[in-house]
Amino acid sequence: MESADIIELKHSHNVNLGDISPSHRVAIVGAGCGDVELLTLKAARLISSADALIYDSLVSEDILDLASNECEMHFAGKRCGMPSAKQDDINQLLLACAKRGLKVVRLKGGDPNVFGRGCEEAMFLAKQGIASQFIPGVTAALGCAASAGIPLTHRGVARSVTLVTGTVIDDSCQTGVGWQALLTAQSTLVFYMGKELAAHIAHGLLTAGASIKLPMVFISSGARVEQKLSFATLGTMAEVASQLHVSGPTLMIVGEVVSVGQELAQLINQVECSKNNGISSDKDMSESA
């Protein structure tokens, strides 16, 4: 599906989802994991009707192409370890565009309120007399896991999911209390932006009592064409991370669900091989006849 096709989709009840409410001059929108087809219809319509688009580096070109040629495009960066605009500067830019009477879309990768500072920006604007609205996006944990074929919960294996930012390990984690809290019964752990701290995370979990054989996976550029899966265990996690050289964002999933996903992949591969062999056999029989 092309970007333009999404804009043309019509709502069955003719509700206009493409305009920012007059009482909400700014829409804080989640762009999802990168695949334009994972964008919500409301997000697509808001982007296409925006006067000003303030976007982060993880937003794909296909999604940016939804904006009109007249739309002001403001790049805000916000990528771990790379040059980015300061949050205060982004806040001021949002305010300035809104005060000019523009329909403003603040476009963030994933969901704006999952490690996205969406509410921080909304609160700043509200204190300046500008109301905003949130448009959810498919956060990385959901999009990457689905794209990799890994269930985040699975009966008898994982009954809960914990989303953790890997860029900040607080004092409670350093004392071991935080790590033990993460290892709640039958929980899948998903670390955002944690590849550089993989050794520290592995050490913390192992010290808290996790098994050295606990499976995990690094998902780089998840839900994109260049997606890469790198499987490991807590025991090999640090070594695998040190050898992982990718340019895209990397998510880490830790838990027995990773093995479930691998088993599913093997079963699907067997099904596909069986179908391919069947086609070959039918073709051979036809040619011999």
Question: What residues act catalytically?
Answer: 56, 78
3-state SS, the chain, equals: CCHHHHHHCCCCCCCCCCCCCCCCCEEEEECECCCHHHCCHHHHHHHHHCCEEEEECCCCHHHHCCCCCCCEEEEEECCCCCCCCCHHHHHHHHHHHHHCCCCEEEEECECCCCCCCHHHHHHHHHHCCCCEEEECCCCHHHHHHHHHCCCCCECCCECEEEEEECCCCCHHHHCCHHHHHHCCCCEEEEEECCHHHHHHHHHHHHHCCCCCCCEEEEEECCCCCCCEEEEEECCCHHHHHHCCCCCCCEEEEECCHHHHHHHHHHHHHHHHHHHHHHHHHHHHHHHHC
